[in-house]
Every structure is written in C-alpha cells, then in structure tokens.
Amino acid sequence: MAEFVRFEVEAGIGTIRLDRPPVNALNKQMQEEIRAAAHEATERDDVAAVIIYGGEKTFAGGADVKEFAAMSYADMLDRAPGLSSSLSSVAEIPKPTVAAITGYALGGGLELALAADRRIIGDNVKVGQPEILLGIIPGAGGTQRLARLIGPSKAKDLVYTGRFVKPDEALSLGIVDEVVAPDDVYRAARGWAEQFVGGASRALAAAKAAIDGGLDNDLASGLKLESHLFAGLFATEDRTEGMRSFIENGPGKATFTGK
C-alpha cells in the first residue's frame, strides 16, 4: 500500500490524494506513488474524471530539497527522466483531470498541477516556479507546460525570477482557471469533474488526445491527428447512441456506456 499517495474513488470520481505532511514535498517515493495512482486512474472503468488534491492546507510545496541536495550530477542524470515522467503520467490520464489547489503549489507542486487539464485554487494560494533561487531550473515540465499554457515571455518571467504569484495574477496569466474560497476548492473541483460521469468516455479521451497531441506538432499534423481520432469514434457504440438520441430526443439526453 502506498505511504504518501492514496487513490480514492467515489461516485465515478477518482481523487489522487497527496499526504506527506507538512507540505507534501515530492520525494522520489512520492513521485513513484503518483505514477502508480495515475496508472490506476487510467485503468479503472469506474473512474470518469480525476482530481489531484493535497488536502486542506497545501497542494504541494515543491520537490524534497533535502533529497536533491544529497544528489550528485551522476545521480540526477539517472533520476531526472523518471522525475519528469512520474508527473507526465498524470498528464497522460485519458480522462478529464483537475488540480484542486490549496495553500501553495510551488516548484514540483506547480508542475504537478500543470499536468492536469484544469486548475482551481483558493483565493489565498500562491503558485510559482522558484527553482532558480536554488540555482537550478524546473525539471518536471515547468519550462515546457508553463510556456505552452501562458506563452514563452510570461513563463520566462516566472522561471527567471522565481517569484510567487497570487491568485488574481495567476488567473489573469492563465496559470489557473478558477479562484474560489479556500474551503470550497475541493468542492468546486468535484463539481467540475462530476459533469463527466456518465459521459462519452471514448470521445472525451479522443478530445484530450487531439488537443494535447496537436500542441506537440504543427497545425497540419494536428489536423491529421484530429481527423484520425474523429473517424475512429464512428466505430463506438456511444457514437451510435449519441446520434440516435439526438435525432429522436434532441441534444444532451443520450445514455452512454463507454463502449
């Protein structure tokens, strides 16, 4: 059983729950437990959407600096790919994902949040990529996902300075998507996730693959990927049911089975 990360499922919603007090510092063990939870979320048919949550106090304060400080260049050369891929496993979950952020999402914590499709924060939260203050750079997606999300110039400002960003600026920059009262963070994330329970799961997976895959390529390649995924959905039972229901009953009334 995992020590620092739990995967809990309730009413079709999976929660990857970080639990390494006091600030959910992401050490190697925790990173691998996140990977395992992401894989379970991917494989379980009873999970329609996923929340990543660090509890009521802190999402994740960053990597375990004490663990990093003890590592040599050779050590990190071996470890860096696994560090990055452990958080990428969250991005690869083929279902809607949302980070419910309380307290802080700094360094590796923000990188984990960036791996989700959506980010909801409390109005007292601070986010940032402060690795430069340690003499390093983000190493688990921060230079890549942040730049793709908000543009290279804004991402460079945050990475170069290492400054902490408050909720209003985080929202205006596009780092986060919604700001709510601190006590409402998980509830708001769950409310967003619940709309996908009973949804057309194969179409949702295809939509995510098309958007994410398209961003990694030029427009022409993205359009080819979209066409391939679009055509593939015509082999699903959900497509048949969705169109039958639309013709007979109008939009939004189909019953999908995920097949």
Residue spans per domain, the chain: 5-194, 201-249
Residue 71 has pLDDT above 90, yes or no: no
Q: What is the pLDDT of residue 174?
A: 97
Closest by CA position to 137, among listed 110, 103, 160, 164: 160
| Percentage with pLDDT > 70 across the chain | 100
Provide CB contacts within 8 A for 122, sequence distance 6+.
101, 102, 103, 167, 179, 180, 181, 182, 183, 184, 185
Pick the CATH number of 5-194 from 3.90.226.10, 3.40.50.300, 2.40.33.20, 1.20.120.1200: 3.90.226.10
- Per-residue three-class SS string for 85-96: HHHHHHHCCCCC
- The two three-digit tokens of residue 36, written as one number: 């395992």
241 is catalytic: no
Q: How confident is the model at residue 176 (pLDDT cuts 50, 70, 90)?
A: very high
pLDDT per position as a tens digit, 133-164 = 999 999 999 999 999 999 999 999 999 999 99
Q: What is the pLDDT of residue 254?
A: 92
Which of 37, 38, 63, 206 is labelled catalytic?
63
Residue 255 has pLDDT above 90, yes or no: yes
Higher pLDDT, 192 or 80: 192
Q: What is the pLDDT of residue 1?
A: 74
41 is catalytic: no
State the pTM of this model.
0.94
63 is catalytic: yes
Provide CB contacts within 8 A for 200, sequence distance 6+.
236, 238, 239, 242, 254, 256, 258
DSSP calls for 17-76: EE--TTTT-B-HHHHHHHHHHHHHHHH-TT--EEEEE--SS-SB--B-HHHHHT--HHHH
Which of 54, 62, 107, 108 is labelled catalytic?
108
Cα(126)–Cα(60) distance, integer angstroms? 11
| Mean pLDDT across 42-71 | 94
pLDDT per position as a tens digit, 195-253 = 999 999 999 999 999 999 999 889 999 999 999 999 999 999 999 999 999 999 999 89
- Mean pLDDT score across all residues of the chain: 96
User: Spelled out in words, what is the top-level CATH class assigned to the domain 201-249?
Assistant: mainly alpha
Instruction: Give the position of tokens 């999300």.
Output: 149
Which of 33, 122, 131, 199 is labelled catalytic?
131
69 is catalytic: no
Residue 53 has pLDDT above 90, yes or no: yes
Q: What is the pLDDT of residue 228?
A: 96
If you ran DSSP here, which 8-state letter would residue 131 be given?
A: G
How many Cα atoms sit within 13 Å of 214 on the Cβ side? Answer: 16
Whether 201-249 and 5-194 are alike in CATH topology: the answer is: no
| Mean pLDDT across 126-133 | 97
Which of 111, 113, 170, 199 is labelled catalytic?
111
Instruction: Give the position of tokens 């730049």.
Output: 147
Q: What is the pLDDT of residue 216?
A: 87
